[in-house]
Amino acid sequence: MMDSEAIQQVIPHRPPFLFVDRVLECEPGRRAVGIKAVSAGEPYFAGHFPGRPIVPGVILLEAMAQLGAVALLSDPQWQGRIPLFGGVDGVRFRRPVRPGDVIRLEVEIVRMRRGLGKGRGTARVDGELAAEGELTFALVAGAPTHPDPEGVDPATSTPTLEEGSA
């Protein structure tokens, strides 16, 4: 099992854009099962929708993609790569996900070749299917531009120039 800290050792995502709380099962390069506990304090609920909060469908897709990235980047041949979305197919949203729900995510990698692949993901709440779909992705070489926030303006996430540099 992996907690949030261990997940962040594998994938480059960080709060508030980390949507997997725990990984329960992981077969590197093949599949993973994870959990996302939805809190009423999630920042997207301020606008989606006030008075009737629902997790945006794109967040469910991103959570599945992040879990798939954990499965892939846990395989030594893909460690250190950056996962990028290439597309989604056959996506269906079956039920709303609300604050207090615990999402069980499952992703199976169905095809992988030369850094390009496809995974099949599901998101369930209390055993009921909330979302499903196929995720196409690419794993690209390289570390994040700023793995250490030092030297980055947090308001803009852009590098700051130090005195005397240009």
- Helix (H, G, I), strand (E, B), or coil: what is residue 7? helix
48 is catalytic: yes
Which residues, 6+ apart, have CB-to-CB distance to 109 below 8 Å?
Answer: 29, 30, 31, 68, 71, 72, 117, 118, 119
**What are the Cα distances from residue 22, in Å, to 15, 46, 146?**
14, 25, 25
Length of the chain (residues): 166
Q: How far is CA 63 from CA 51, 77, 151, 155, 156, in A?
A: 24, 23, 29, 25, 24
18, 22, 42, 48: which one is catalytic?
48
- Residues marked active site are found at 48
